């Protein structure tokens, strides 16, 4: 089993490296701290059996990185590691091709079980992250706006990136804040960072 971990917190990557090797001495684990390093390693070495990608990376968010990896390496299983448990982000990651969403607060035993499921071709997402109350479900466009809003982007930047009017972005932001329960843009970004 070859696993490549991309997490900007080197200590977390190292801890996960030791945990995985302790659970399976034949497991080969490498850790990088950016998506750029991840892409460089994938170009120069044999593809791993699984990529574990932190959602909050310094050079891009995990959902964009999943989409990029799926485009470049369609058969490479990728799972998101995150402390975030927002089901909108989870759904977006799965829609982009992630094989799973692994909360960083899982017990070691559950983490190993999750990784084995993913390596066997299954998906792993804790059930509570899949279910959203109907009033919290975002439309596809709201989901796109929410990803940029979580990064702290302004209405103008969101409008430019998505090719829509700033007034339309304002409407989407208002709905997203209502559905998420966030009190304002900064609160939403803090909840989803």
Domain at 60, CATH number: 3.40.50.2300
Q: What's the pLDDT at 3?
A: 93
Q: What's the pLDDT at 171?
A: 94
Q: How many domains does the chain have?
A: 2
125 and 54 in a common domain: yes
15 and 37 in a common domain: yes
157 and 76 in a common domain: no
User: Looking at the predicted structure, is the pLDDT value of residue 132 above 60?
Assistant: no
171 and 125 in a common domain: no
Instruction: Decide: 47 and 76 in contact? Cβ < 8 Å.
Output: yes
* Helix H or strand E encompassing 156: helix 155-162
pLDDT per residue over 58-78, tens digit each? Answer: 888 888 899 999 999 999 999
Mean pLDDT check: name the lowest of 65-69, 132-136, 147-151. Answer: 132-136
What distance in Å separates the CA atoms of residue 39 and residue 193, rounded to the nearest whole number?
A: 23
Q: Which two tokens stand for residue 171?
A: 């409407």
138 and 125 in a common domain: no
Tokens 């302004």: give the residue.
Answer: 154
What distance in Å separates the CA atoms of residue 87 and residue 166, rounded to the nearest whole number?
A: 26
> Residue 38 is part of which domain span?
2-129
In the chain, count H helices and then E strands.
9, 5
Instruction: Decide: 3 and 29 in contact? Cβ < 8 Å.
Output: yes
164 and 78 in a common domain: no
What CATH number did the domain enclosing 161 receive?
1.10.10.10
146 and 123 in a common domain: no
- DSSP code of 14? H
13 and 96 in a common domain: yes
User: Looking at the predicted structure, is the pLDDT value of residue 167 above 80?
Assistant: yes
pLDDT per residue over 8-52, tens digit each? Answer: 888 887 888 888 888 888 888 898 999 999 999 999 999 999 999
Question: Stretch 86-98: mean pLDDT, rounded?
Answer: 84
Q: What is the mean pLDDT of the chain?
A: 87
- DSSP code of 142? H
For the chain, the straight-line distance linking the first and the last C-alpha, in angstroms and rounded, comes to 31
User: Looking at the predicted structure, is the pLDDT value of residue 147 above 80?
Assistant: yes
The pTM of the whole model exceeds 0.95: no
Q: Are strands 28-32 and 2-6 parallel, antiparallel or unpaired?
A: parallel
From residue 60, give the alpha-carbon distance in Å to each of 32, 36, 63, 130, 159: 14, 9, 8, 24, 19
156 and 97 in a common domain: no
């Amino acid at each position: 089993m070859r696993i490549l971990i991309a997490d900007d917190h080197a200590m977390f990557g190292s801890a996960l490296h030791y945990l995985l090797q302790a659970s399976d001495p034949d497991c080969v684990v490498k850790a990088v701290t950016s998506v750029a390093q991840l892409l460089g390693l994938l170009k120069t070495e044999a593809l791993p059996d699984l990529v574990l990608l932190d959602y909050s990376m310094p050079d891009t968010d995990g959902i964009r990185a999943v989409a990029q990896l799926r485009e470049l390496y369609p058969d490479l299983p990728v799972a998101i590691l995150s402390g975030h448990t927002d089901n909108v982000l989870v759904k977006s990651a799965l829609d982009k091709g992630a094989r799973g969403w692994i909360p960083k607060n899982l017990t070691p035993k559950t983490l190993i079980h999750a990784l084995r499921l993913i390596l066997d071709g299954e998906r792993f997402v804790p059930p509570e992250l899949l279910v959203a109350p109907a009033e919290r479900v975002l439309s596809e466009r709201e989901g796109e706006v929410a990803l940029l809003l979580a990064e702290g982007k302004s209405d103008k930047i969101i409008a430019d990136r998505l090719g829509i009017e700033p007034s339309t972005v304002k409407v989407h932001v208002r709905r997203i804040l209502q559905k998420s329960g966030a009190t304002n843009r900064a609160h939403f970004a803090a909840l989803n960072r």
